[in-house]
Amino acid sequence: MWAVLPIALKGILVTLDPVTTSFFRFFLSALLITPYLLARNRLPNAHKARKPKFALWLIAAGLLLSANYGFYIFGLDKTSVEAAQVIIQLAPMLLLLAGLWIFREPFSRIQWLGFLVFVSGLLVFFHHRLGDLFLSFNDYGIGMLLVVGAAFSWAGYAIMQKFLLQEFSSEECMMVIYWIGTLSFLPFCDFSTIDQLSNLQWGLLAFCGLNTLVAYGAFAEAMVHLEASRVSAIIALGPLVTVTIVQLVPIAGVSPEPLGIISLVGAAMLVAGSITTAIAKKVS
């Protein structure tokens, strides 16, 4: 689900602007999860949200995830599907580093090696685009920086969620966060092009709204049956799935990134480094 999400978003951005698209992603998720939780009485800790400290935590998490959605889709609009999907892999890596400094989690030398391979793979993958970022600083370079901003925002959101889950269930947190995201984007929406969406684009928009619910639901179920490190390692394969689909399957509105052997080697290094960092034994 996460691997094909940027492809669906690209198809929508042909007609709909990034802000309105992000609004619908949050709104559809909030609209589906709220009545479900209310009907099944799955909000046992709702009273805690009235406490100022927890309310601020929820608002901060909601705004950080909103920033993640916003930075990502604006970056995607200026770059390619493969580029956005590769750069956003910084997010779980940043979370791992945050665990090292904020939560005092151990980090072995093998994991540091994996991190160095990850960063090297990122540079190798974008070797032909580094001029766009550091020299000409064109739209593509700006888009790369926006996706980096999305990665930092997601890592900040994940850290806040770690604190929130000590007081609320994941479902309670997500419901509130979806509504915060909905309200954050609503004032800046432009609904004038809604009637120009094709039937396919309506389907893509519905898919993007459902993507968060289905992807996170599958993620939670996987965590029940597999170790967290194994789940993280599987998720790290996402960019390879995205690159393979875009390079091999012609998709209207999606321009494949011009990738040579060096870039493909970089992609393999990035995934290998990410998997190594996720599953390496935490030994000194």
pLDDT digits (tens, 9 = 90+) for 193-216: 999 999 999 999 999 989 988 887
CB of 5 closer than 8 Å to CB of 211:
yes
Rounded mean pLDDT for each run of 10 residues along the chain, 284 residues in total: 92 94 94 93 89 94 95 94 91 81 79 92 88 79 94 91 86 91 96 94 93 78 69 79 89 82 90 84 49
Residue 80 · residue 257 · CB < 8 Å: yes
Distance CA 17, CA 283 (A): 47
CA-to-CA distance for 55 and 35, rounded, in angstroms? 21
Domain-by-domain residue ranges, the chain? Answer: 5-279
137: left (phi over 0), alpha (psi -120 to 50) or beta: left
At residue 228, the pLDDT reads 61
Alpha-helix runs per DSSP H in 126-256: 130-134, 139-164, 170-185, 199-225, 228-235, 238-248
> How high is the pLDDT of residue 170?
84
Measured torsion, CA atoms of residues 101, 103, 106, 110, in degrees rounded to the nearest 10: -60
Q: How far is CA 176 from CA 29, 37, 56, 171, in A?
A: 11, 11, 12, 9
Backbone angle region of 63, left / alpha / beta, with phi > 0 → left and psi within -120 to 50 → alpha = alpha
Its pTM stands at: 0.89
Quick check: 33 and 41 in contact, CB under 8 A?
Answer: no
Nearest Cα to 182, choosing from 2, 33, 13?
Answer: 33
Distances (CA, A) of 273 to 38, 97, 107, 115, 122: 42, 14, 14, 6, 10
DSSP state of 198: -
- Which pLDDT value is given to residue 187? 97
How far is residue 218 CA from its own chain's centroid? 15
Q: Which residues contact 40 (CB under 8 A, 6 or more apart)?
A: none
* Digit-coded pLDDT (tens) for 94-121: 887 887 777 777 778 898 899 999 999 9
Tell me which residue of 177, 181, 192 sits closest to 72, measured CA to CA. Answer: 181
In this predicted structure, what is the pLDDT of residue 102?
A: 79
From residue 281, alpha-carbon distances to 105, 114, 115 in Å are 12, 12, 14
Which single residue is written with the structure tokens 């929508």? Answer: 12
| pLDDT for 183 | 97
DSSP state of 79: S
At 283 the pLDDT is: 46
